[in-house]
Amino acid sequence: MELSKEQSREIIARRVAKEFGEGDVITLGIGLPTEVANYIPANLHVVFQSENGLLGVGRRDLSGSDNPLVTNAGGIAVTTKPGAAFFDSQLSFAMIRGGHIDATVLGALEVDEEGNLANWMVPGVFVPGMGGAMDLVVGAKRVIIAMEHTNKGRPRIVKKCTLPLTAAKEVDLIVTERAVMEVTPQGLVLKEINPLFSLDDVLQATAAELIVPDDLQQIAV
């Protein structure tokens, strides 16, 4: 089944939002991961940190009243929650490198079955740089990858990354519009599948070997 990009991103963001616990401090990467903040349950208190120096990031204000001077790390105008704090990048990265971030949600170009992550460059293509991803994947207590399953039909979940790595063996969970996969010492375990896709759909769109348990669950979409 073909989903629009907007449908895929919503499915991914909604599912990632279920991964957090009360009081978690979470850093969201740029792009798709920033949408996760829009789907946090109203009765769950979490704190979003932006690496450019903001603790207490709120949802995007779709009414158009965003303050353009208050942005996330991707330069997108955001709201702030009561008690939010602003600080410089030095303090922001001290929080990240000091192990004070419970989880980070990042996009990826490739992830492999060992939890290796490539998300910052394609050789021969200009990119602005790695940003804070290298610090986040080793500093956060949990690393969640939020990305579309394929790129123009090419699998992003591979047996071994071929692109330059951001970090080795740091990914804990992968969430796509098709499935949820957990990196374990035994390999990449398929935990949940989107009922809009068959198991064969997921396996054919994945270049890594997946362990399929007997108790495979469905993603609530």
**Residues belonging to the active site:** 51
β-pairing, 173-175 vs 117-118, is unpaired
Rg (CA), the chain: 17
Q: In terms of Cα–Cα distance, which of 47, 65, 66, 67 is closest to 57?
A: 47
Contact indicator for 191, 214 with CB cutoff of 8 Å: no
Q: What sign has the CA pseudo-torsion 3, 9, 10, 11?
A: positive
CA distance 105 to 107: 7
Nearest to 136 by CA among 113, 162, 170: 170
Tokens read off for 134: 């290298």
